[in-house]
Structure 1
Amino acid sequence: MRVEIDEDKCCGAGSCVLSAPDVFDQRDSDGVVVLLMERPGEELREAVEEAAERCPAAAITVLEQ
């Protein structure tokens, strides 16, 4: 699994951080998502997929690679 983020779409809601704090963080200055782990392990799949589903701006893409 590979994760991509679109910082331009991000609205800073923070739902990704709540769902998968090992994979996502937010910049202090503006709350925009920061990707901590581009290729998280399979044990984080459920949390990452939940983060992508909960993102109100659809700024997270989960790819099978």
Structure 2
Amino acid sequence: MFAQINIMLIIDASLESAIAVTGAAYRLPKANDLEELWNLLSAGISTYEEIRLDRFSRNAE
């Protein structure tokens, strides 16, 4: 599933360390939207997994 988010998030309001996410497009395991992604990140949950061998063609050039 692909998700595209076009919102602005201000992580820190101070001018010296402010970070603004002005857009995000992603395809991630175990996160279908921005809220699920934030929950995973803030909880420190790893979604690392091995890549399935059938994901790639053996005949690719």
Q: TM-score, normalised by structure 1?
A: 0.27
Q: Higher strand share goes to which structure?
A: 1
Q: Which has the higher contact order (CA 8 A, sep 6+)?
A: 1
Q: Higher helix share goes to which structure?
A: 1
